């Protein structure tokens, strides 16, 4: 059966793991030879050579599997190809935990994978977010858990949970009316890349124009349809966030 791989780093890791496993098994055999040689002679002297062959076969198979597992947990971790691909091919810095959550994108879907090379065409400030959003979209399509929490997810969770006060009290209604808009303002600002409401509307407009340009679906022509749909969804969220902030800013300064 032919070895399957998706990208160059994946192939490098698989070949490295196979070769490394052989090296470890060979090294282990050399270390065990002072013990193994007398056992081999004793068994063969009693015409139990077949048993020795079984022991040798068991060591070869078990040792090789153990060596691969050891390499996968140490010097050649399973998330390594994803980390290298994102860091050097996509130009997007990620950490080990994020690489583990992104692994399904680059070979964990039965050989199907998402090159996402269009990410290199957008501003480096937005590449991590784009990569995480695309991962969420693909995970949804395959019925997987969304690996990353986005600002709007926190907003939806806040709206579902509501205030801690009793729902029947007027104070709780007033608190909810205040908390939800405040949370929405925070989320909308975060979507545009802002931390707080600026004194003028110009920074909001500039942040919106800069980001909507980078997430426009035209940037991702040639990618799989689900990637284009994810870009369209981001563009819609950015438009909605901008319109909401525009209304709130106008109301606050009326």
Successive 10-residue mean pLDDT values, the chain, 254 residues: 69 83 86 86 85 89 85 81 94 95 86 90 94 94 92 68 48 45 86 90 95 93 91 94 91 78
Residue 177's pLDDT is: 44
Residue 139's pLDDT is: 94
Residue 8's pLDDT is: 84
Backbone angles phi, psi at 28, to 5 degrees: -65, -40
- Using CA atoms, how far residue 31 sits from 21, 25, 59, 66, in Å, is 15, 10, 13, 16
Global pTM reads: 0.77
Residue 36's pLDDT is: 86
**Secondary element (H or E) of residue 109:** strand 106-109
CB 126 within 8 A of CB 215: yes
Residue 174's pLDDT is: 44
């Amino acid at each position: 059966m032919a070895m399957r791989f998706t990208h160059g780093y994946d192939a490098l890791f698989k070949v490295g793991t196979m070769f490394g496993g052989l090296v470890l098994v060979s090294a282990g055999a050399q270390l065990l030879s002072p013990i193994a040689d007398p056992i081999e002679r004793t068994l063969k002297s009693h015409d139990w050579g077949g048993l020795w062959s079984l022991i040798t076969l068991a060591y070869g198979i078990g040792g090789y599997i153990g060596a691969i597992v050891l390499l996968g947990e140490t010097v050649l971790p399973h998330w390594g190809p994803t980390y290298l691909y994102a860091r050097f091919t996509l130009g997007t810095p990620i950490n080990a935990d994020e690489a583990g959550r992104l692994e399904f994108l680059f070979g964990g879907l039965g050989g199907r994978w998402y090159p996402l090379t269009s990410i290199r065409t957008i501003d480096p400030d937005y590449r991590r977010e784009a990569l995480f959003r695309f991962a969420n979209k693909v995970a949804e399509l395959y019925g997987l858990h969304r690996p990353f929490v986005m600002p709007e997810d926190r907003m939806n969770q806040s709206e579902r949970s509501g205030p801690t006060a009793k729902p029947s009290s007027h104070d709780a209604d007033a608190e909810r009316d205040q908390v939800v808009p405040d949370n929405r303002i925070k989320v909308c600002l975060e979507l545009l890349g802002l931390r707080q409401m600026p004194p003028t509307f110009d920074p909001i407009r500039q942040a919106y124009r800069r980001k909507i340009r980078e997430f426009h679906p035209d940037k991702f022509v040639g990618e799989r349809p689900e990637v284009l749909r994810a870009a369209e969804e981001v563009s819609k969220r950015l438009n909605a966030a901008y319109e909401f902030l525009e209304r709130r800013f106008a109301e606050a300064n009326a």
